[in-house]
């Protein structure tokens, strides 16, 4: 039988996040604290909003050509930062374990699984996501080729496939269908569009357009 | 006349959105004051919850609430349920645990990270009871379900008296759909009795209907959005308990809640293809005519639902055989409920039937392709009806030619190339060609553009693209001026995307809606346009987006007609469904799969080198997306044949390979070049387009085509999927290889 919820979540008296506040007070890792007036630290012991600020770290990067300065908890992955805080939802979460490639983005031109890196580790990096690949209205040649060769069905793995495909060509790993199949095997497509993906990449490679 | 659009390889209408990241799937939506949900799931597989301590979790930063059976709002739809009825898991109704991974609480917090962390702080104590997850050890619990009665045609077990027999047991493991998109839902009660959902579903109307029933709300109070779906393969054909839990949590907290489950939870919360043990027995005359087929299947289900599917269906009608009998039983285990997975039960059954036919061919010394042709069913022996269309023999012939079947030497283990054993295998597949009921709204705008709406889903096959092509052919309007909108519960009714029926069902409704629109325009012209005054609506001819007066010179374009009448738009709504034709004909799609494999003689590793798949699916609306659907089914079939198996640790009732690294779905390097061919002949009866279905037949039978090729290559018959190297391995050859390579043991 469902019962009425006990609404008294927080014991009276002591602050509800006492242990964490003690940690904040003592922590030397949070550099900002060294410069923070004691009054604010005291306030943080009782105020969730203020505490939240101290638990975050500033990070700046360039995402799709735009400077982005954000403050994030150190445990936030690049993927979750993109999706949940910056609303760059083109990058997808398929496994959160670096096993499927749906979250592939470029960091300083290199393809990475954005679920396997913390946002704070990308300080100063240039990040390119699927939203930053086209030149305005003009699609990137790999995007064009994916449409032409139907390199997808549901489209969910597609942003990751395309980011990976662009890098695959730039790396010089698109010399033959066999090589492409090998170097695109970090990106799972459960709809099974692999054959079409290979055709799309070969088409771009042979088309000679700069990627 | 304009170019016929049906049959073209038009690019997808939503392709640009999909390649730019602009396609928004359920979890891509963000609402103000959104809370993130994380599930606390049971680590036991049977028992009851003793206590839930949420003190630590509630103290964690950003946590708004922890919702469980102790404090969840009541679900009115649970009330009248018969406690003995096996009608699903009623999440948060009580403290009973049926399976490992069952959600016991939902933690809500203002960030995803905080919700996930707080979920780890919830302390749950359980009373553990004995659980059963080992199918082989639970066969004594097998029972018959009334939905799947025993079937007998002619004499039961007639195979026993035949001159040549095959009697073998085939097993398939539990497989998991694992679409790329993680399941979940966003739930928002924008008033106490109106609910907005962003769902991952194969049918928005089904979600609306389920929620309506559970929460006893009027239909119009429930809005379901699901424009893009990141794959389903069957797992999104129902509303799952964790989605109801999220709706309950949102109701309690009165804020929007987003749940995205984790990959490991995809194994325990959203269904699976049940493991099955099948005994397939065939009897034939010495010249190869089948005289008896007996197909007995046992498959897994959950403790709280009896899940049945078409495992024994194909055996009843695929071959001309006077004596057929089937039996189908279920074994309840402490697992969640299975759900149709691409090709559903027919794929399971086809593995057994098409493997057994192959085994019979070797016993008879008849080519397996010839054996199938010899026993071809010209009419449906189960329903005793003619087929509406069946071009299976043409498909056999075409596939054989394309794979180079004549190169195949009959004897097993007789072919080699590049140091590899070479095998050729083939199989057939079939699935019912259905047509359901759907309603489409068609709106012609005064700029000549056409907007079609229906509450259909698209999990990837390219529904909107095909519908645009169909509408273009009926109306003569250019595809670029037609928009097909789906994935909204506010649109007129369409059934779920499942059972390979979308083009048939929805395409028929699009056709009828477009025709109804034309009739309305004709009436409009006859009543109001002077040049058409003395015509009757029935005599108006439609060509290239214009109305023509029969036998006359007068014509008017759609947009001129609307503009002249100062109408911003003209709308019609039409419902379409099948009629008497389904009583007169048996309707099925057919597929044929041919594979060429390489088997490493020492390690037993199987590599598929070439695939030819042929579909008899009626008229092909879009050759590009249809081909994609076929190769996609084949890739699923590669997984079923060679790699996919969810493994349980029966000590705990837990999956041990519940992630993409350990549950092996095929990757790009696992897939060879695949050649797809379509018979592309119109079915004269099924629907106006003449299109049968294709999603299922793309996979059905494929696993047998691989196992048959592996047998041909090695002489080793693998009857237990997946065909992993350990099952293929030739002991002697392996020992020899170790000696040659100076390896011990």
Average pLDDT on A80-104 reads 98
CA–CA distances in Å: residue B305 to residues B206, B309, B330, B708: 18, 13, 10, 35
Q: Of the ranges A41-45, B38-42, B179-183, B445-449, which one carries the lowest mean pLDDT score?
A: A41-45
The CA distance from B238 to the nearest CA of chain A, in Å, is 19
Q: Is A1 on the interface with B (CB under 8 A)?
A: yes
Catalytic residue among B175, B359, B645, B696: B696
pLDDT of amino acid B484: 98
CA–CA distances in Å: residue B715 to residues B361, B364, B420, B424, B723: 13, 16, 14, 12, 14
Residue A40: pLDDT band (50, 70, 90) is low
pLDDT of amino acid B323: 98
- B175 tagged catalytic: no
Residue B544: pLDDT band (50, 70, 90) is confident
At residue B321, the 3 state secondary structure works out as coil
CB within 8 Å: A84 and B112: yes
User: Exposure pattern of B245-259 as b/e (b: 16+ CB <10 Å)?
Assistant: bbbbbbbbbebbbbb
Calpha distance B454→B204 (Å, rounded): 10
Chain region(s) in chain B for CATH 3.30.365.10: 15-21+436-577, 367-434+583-736
Alpha carbon B258 to its chain's center: 26
Chain region(s) in chain B for CATH 3.90.1170.50: 31-130+181-230+236-267
pLDDT digits (tens, 9 = 90+) for B263-301: 999 999 999 999 999 999 999 999 999 999 999 999 999
**Out of B16, B65, B632, closest to residue A193 by CB:** B632
Residue A21 predicted with pLDDT over 50: no
The CA distance from A201 to the nearest CA of chain B, in Å, is 13
CB B299 within 8 A of CB B320: no
Q: Is A20 on the interface with B (CB under 8 A)?
A: yes
Q: Which of B14, B17, B18, B698 to probe the A interface (max A CBs under 10 A)?
A: B18
pLDDT of amino acid A34: 54
pLDDT of amino acid A210: 87
Calpha distance A27→A61 (Å, rounded): 26
Beta bridge partners of B299: B276, B330
Q: Is B15 on the interface with A (CB under 8 A)?
A: yes
CB within 8 Å: B636 and A92: no
CB within 8 Å: A155 and B18: yes
Calpha distance A150→A142 (Å, rounded): 12
User: Where are the extended beta strands (E) located within chain A?
Assistant: 57-63, 66-72, 104-107, 110-113, 126-128
**B15-21+436-577 placed in CATH 3.30.365.10:** yes
pLDDT of amino acid A3: 39
pLDDT of amino acid A13: 40
CB within 8 Å: A5 and B233: no
What's the ipTM?
A: 0.97
> Exposed, middle or buried: residue B217 (CB in 10 Å: 0-12, 13-18, 19+)?
middle
Residue B6 predicted with pLDDT over 70: yes
Half-sphere exposure of A178 (CA within 13 A, CB side): 1
The CA distance from A80 to the nearest CA of chain B, in Å, is 8
Q: Of the ranges A109-113, B546-550, B714-718, which one carries the lowest mean pLDDT score?
A: B546-550
Q: Is A207 on the interface with B (CB under 8 A)?
A: no
Return mean pLDDT, chain B.
Answer: 96
Residue B722: is the preceding peptide bond cis (ω within 30°)? yes
Average pLDDT on A134-162 reads 98
pLDDT digits (tens, 9 = 90+) for B721-730: 999 999 998 6
Which CATH code for domain B31-130+181-230+236-267?
Answer: 3.90.1170.50
Provide the phi-psi class of A98: left if phi over 0, else alpha when psi is between -120 and 50, else beta: left
Q: Is B610 on the interface with A (CB under 8 A)?
A: no
DSSP state of A188: -
HEC secondary structure over B450-471: EEEECCCCCCCCCHHHHHHHHH
Q: Which fold has domain B367-434+583-736?
A: Aldehyde Oxidoreductase; domain 4 (3.30.365)
Identify the closest residue of chain A to B18 by CA–CA distance: A155
Residue A51: pLDDT band (50, 70, 90) is low
pLDDT digits (tens, 9 = 90+) for B454-494: 999 999 999 999 999 999 999 999 999 999 999 999 999 99
What is the count of residue pairs from A and B with beta carbons less than 8 Å apart? Answer: 212
Contacts of A73 in chain B (CB under 8 A): 111, 113
Q: Is A147 on the interface with B (CB under 8 A)?
A: yes
Residues above pLDDT 70, as percent of chain B? 98
φ and ψ at B342, to 5 degrees? -20, 125
> A17: closest CA among A51, A40, A53?
A51
**Out of B20, B629, B669, closest to residue A131 by CB:** B20
The CA distance from B83 to the nearest CA of chain A, in Å, is 14
Residues above pLDDT 90, as percent of chain B? 93
Q: Of the ranges A3-17, B86-100, B539-553, which one carries the lowest mean pLDDT score?
A: A3-17
Which helix (H) or strand (E) element contains residue B164? strand B164-172
Average pLDDT on A124-143 reads 97
Q: Is B112 on the interface with A (CB under 8 A)?
A: yes
The CA distance from B647 to the nearest CA of chain A, in Å, is 18
Q: Is B486 on the interface with A (CB under 8 A)?
A: no
At residue B737, the 3 state secondary structure works out as helix
Tokens 């012939």 belong to B397
Contacts of A94 in chain B (CB under 8 A): 180-182, 263, 660
For chain B, what is the largest distance between any 2 Cα atoms, rounded to a whole number of angstroms? 97
The CA distance from B431 to the nearest CA of chain A, in Å, is 19
pLDDT of amino acid B730: 67
Contacts of B178 in chain A (CB under 8 A): 190
Q: Is A22 on the interface with B (CB under 8 A)?
A: no
Residue B59 predicted with pLDDT over 60: yes
Calpha distance B611→B403 (Å, rounded): 7
């Amino acid at each position: 039988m469902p019962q009425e919820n006990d609404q008294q979540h927080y014991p009276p008296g002591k602050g509800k996040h006492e242990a964490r506040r003690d940690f904040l007070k003592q922590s030397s890792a949070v550099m900002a604290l060294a410069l923070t007036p004691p009054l604010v630290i005291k306030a943080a012991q009782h105020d969730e909003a203020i505490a939240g600020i101290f638990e975050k770290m500033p990070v700046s990067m360039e995402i799709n050509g735009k400077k982005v300065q954000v403050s994030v908890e150190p445990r936030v992955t690049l993927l979750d930062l993109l999706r949940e805080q910056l609303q760059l939802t083109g990058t997808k979460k398929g496994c959160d374990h670096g096993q499927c490639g749906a979250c592939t983005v470029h960091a300083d031109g290199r393809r990475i699984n954005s679920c396997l890196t913390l946002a704070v580790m990308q300080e100063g990096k240039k990040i390119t996501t699927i939203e930053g690949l086209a030149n305005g209205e003009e699609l990137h040649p790999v995007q064009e080729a994916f449409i032409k060769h139907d390199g997808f069905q549901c489209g969910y793995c597609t942003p990751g496939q395309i980011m990976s495909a662009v890098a695959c060509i730039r790396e010089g790993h698109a010399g033959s269908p066999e090589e492409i199949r090998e170097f695109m095997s970090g990106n799972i497509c459960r709809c099974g569009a692999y054959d079409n993906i290979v055709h799309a990449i070969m088409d771009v490679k042979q088309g000679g357009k700069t990627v | 006349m304009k170019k016929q659009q049906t049959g073209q390889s038009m690019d997808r209408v939503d392709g640009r959105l999909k390649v730019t990241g602009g396609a928004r799937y359920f979890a891509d939506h963000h609402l103000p004051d959104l809370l993130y949900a994380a599930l606390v799931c049971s680590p036991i597989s049977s028992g009851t919850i003793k206590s839930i301590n949420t003190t630590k979790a509630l103290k964690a930063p950003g946590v708004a609430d922890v919702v469980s059976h102790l404090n969840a709002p009541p679900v009115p739809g649970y009330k009248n349920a018969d406690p003995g009825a096996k009608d699903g898991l009623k999440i948060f109704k009580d403290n009973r645990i049926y399976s490992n991974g069952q959600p016991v609480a939902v933690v809500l917090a203002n960030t995803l990270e905080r919700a996930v962390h707080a979920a780890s702080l919830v302390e749950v104590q359980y009373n553990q009871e004995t659980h059963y997850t080992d199918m082989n050890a639970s066969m004594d619990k097998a029972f018959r379900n009334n939905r799947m009665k025993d079937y007998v045609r002619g004499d039961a077990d007639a195979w026993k008296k035949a001159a040549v027999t095959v009697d073998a047991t085939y097993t398939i493991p539990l497989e998991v759909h694992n679409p790329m998109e993680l399941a979940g839902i966003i739930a928002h009660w924008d008033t106490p009795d109106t609910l907005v959902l962003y769902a991952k579903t194969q049918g928005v109307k089904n979600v609306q209907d389920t929620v309506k029933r559970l929460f006893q709300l009027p239909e119009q109070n429930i809005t379901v959005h699901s424009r893009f779906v990141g794959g389903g393969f069957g797992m999104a054909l129902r509303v799952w308990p964790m989605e109801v839990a999220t709706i309950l949590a949102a109701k309690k907290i009165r804020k929007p809640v987003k749940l995205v489950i984790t990959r490991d939870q995809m194994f325990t919360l959203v269904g699976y293809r049940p493991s099955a043990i099948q005994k397939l027995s065939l009897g034939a005359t010495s010249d190869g005519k089948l005289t008896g087929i007996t197909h007995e299947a046992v498959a897994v289900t959950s403790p709280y639902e009896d899940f049945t599917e078409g495992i024994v269906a194909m055996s009843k009608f695929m071959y001309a055989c006077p004596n057929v009998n089937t039996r189908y039983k279920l074994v309840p285990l402490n697992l969640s409920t299975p759900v149709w997975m691409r090709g559903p039960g027919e794929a399971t059954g086809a593995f057994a039937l098409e493997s057994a036919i192959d085994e019979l061919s070797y016993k008879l010394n008849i080519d397996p392709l010839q054996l199938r042709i010899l026993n071809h069913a010209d009419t449906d022996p189960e329903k005793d009806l003619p087929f509406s269309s069946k071009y299976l023999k043409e498909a056999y012939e075409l596939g054989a030619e394309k794979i180079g079947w004549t190169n195949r030497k009959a004897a097993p283990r007789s072919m080699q190339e590049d140091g590899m054993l070479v095998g050729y295998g083939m199989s057939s597949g079939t699935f019912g060609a259905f047509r359901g009921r759907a309603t489409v709204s068609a709106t012609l705008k005064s700029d000549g553009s056409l907007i079609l709406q229906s509450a259909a889903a698209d999990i990837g096959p390219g529904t909107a693209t095909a519908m645009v092509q169909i509408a273009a052919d009926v109306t003569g309007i250019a595809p670029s001026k037609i928009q097909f909108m789906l994935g909204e519960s506010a649109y007129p009714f369409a059934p779920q995307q499942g059972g390979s029926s979308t083009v048939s069902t929805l395409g028929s409704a699009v056709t009828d809606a477009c025709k109804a629109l034309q009739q309305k325009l004709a009436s409009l012209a006859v009543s109001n346009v002077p040049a058409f005054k003395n015509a009757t609506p029935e005599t108006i001819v439609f060509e290239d987006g214009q109305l023509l007066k029969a036998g006359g010179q007068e014509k008017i374009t759609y947009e001129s007609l609307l503009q002249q009448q100062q109408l911003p738009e003209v709308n019609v709504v039409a419902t379409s469904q099948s009629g008497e034709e389904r009583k007169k004909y048996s309707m099925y799609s057919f597929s044929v799969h041919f594979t060429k494999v390489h088997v490493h003689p020492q390690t037993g590793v199987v590599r598929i080198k070439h695939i030819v798949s042929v579909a008899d699916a009626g008229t092909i609306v879009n050759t590009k997306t249809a081909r994609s659907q076929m190769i996609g089914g084949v890739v699923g079939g590669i997984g079923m044949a060679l790699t996919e198996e969810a493994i349980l640790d029966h000590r705990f009732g837990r999956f041990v390979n519940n992630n993409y690294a350990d549950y092996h779905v095929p990757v790009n390097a696992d897939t060879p070049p695949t050649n797809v061919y379509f018979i592309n002949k119109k079915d004269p009866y099924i629907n106006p387009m003449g299109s049968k279905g294709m999603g299922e037949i793309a996979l059905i039978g494929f696993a047998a085509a691989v196992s048959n090729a592996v047998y041909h290559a090695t002489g080793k018959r693998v009857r237990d999927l997946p065909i992993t190297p350990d099952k293929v391995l030739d002991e002697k050859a392996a020992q020899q290889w170790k000696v040659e390579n100076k390896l011990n043991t």
